[in-house]
Amino acid sequence: MDSSEYIVHHLHNVKIVSNFFSLHQDTFLMSWVTGLFVLCFFSLVARNVTSGVPGAFQNFLELIIDFVLAQVRDTYKGKSTIVAPLALLVFCWVFIMNLMDLIPVDFFSFVGTFLDISFLRDMKIVPTTDPNITMGMSISVFLLLIYFNLSAKGLFGYIKEFFCSPFGPYLFMVNFPLKIVEELAKPLSLGLRLFGNLYAGEMIFILIALLPWQIQWMLGGPWAIFHILVITIQAFVFMMLTIVYLALAEESH
């Protein structure tokens, strides 16, 4: 295949198409695989906790937990007990999904061709390069925001914010559209930021893969090292914005 066909091949999802929607099988599979990996890793470490000297995996997990809890304590002042576990899950899950971007571009294509499995040959392995998964997660956070708003302010208080904030009740015709834009911008910025950064990183890996193999390692190695920072920062940003949005939802104006 030529260069354009090669790029399209690696940017194309494996789909099941119906009359109303399409299901991206590879995104669905890899998001579940990475999610189960995170849960199994947590469960395995928790089962092996002993009263003696903790192992390397336990120390690593405790380091992550302490880091996330510190961010929650500094940002969220409410009383909900689900914010810290949610932040931990979001950070670890998004990080593992992003980490799939460090697997060589043609690895699964090679395995799929060798085993004659078309699904492996054609699949995309980085779920966060698909806007369906990033926007799906951001919409889930948005629904939590609505729940937190209603729990903290009640239905009347929540509706009142749309008409009375930020300029007071007499400018309700200005307040309402501004509040709508403010609320909708939260899930859009949350999902599109993660998608855009990981999609750009994947595109660079694909372009590097088009070069002769002697040059690929010279460019791919440094970019992979830099990309480790990108995928970590993006997981951190998604987690922090989730915490900040939930904290703001419980604040009264």
Just list the catalytic residues: 189, 193, 197
Question: Helix 83-99 to helix 213-249 angle, to the nearest 10 degrees?
Answer: 170
| CA-wise closest residue to 130 among 10, 241, 229 | 10
Residues 6+ away with beta carbon under 8 Å from 206: 6, 7, 10, 11, 105
Provide the token pair at 98: 């992003």
Rounded Cα distance, 128 and 97, in Å: 6
Rounded Cα distance, 209 and 211, in Å: 5
Which H or E run includes 155? helix 131-164
b (16+ CB within 10 A) / e for 86-99: bbbbbbbbbbbbbb
Is the bond leading into 127 cis (omega within 30 degrees of zero)? no
Q: Is the dihedral angle over the CA atoms 61, 64, 67, 68 positive or is it negative?
A: negative
Residues 6+ away with beta carbon under 8 Å from 245: 141, 145, 186, 190
Rounded Cα distance, 35 and 173, in Å: 44
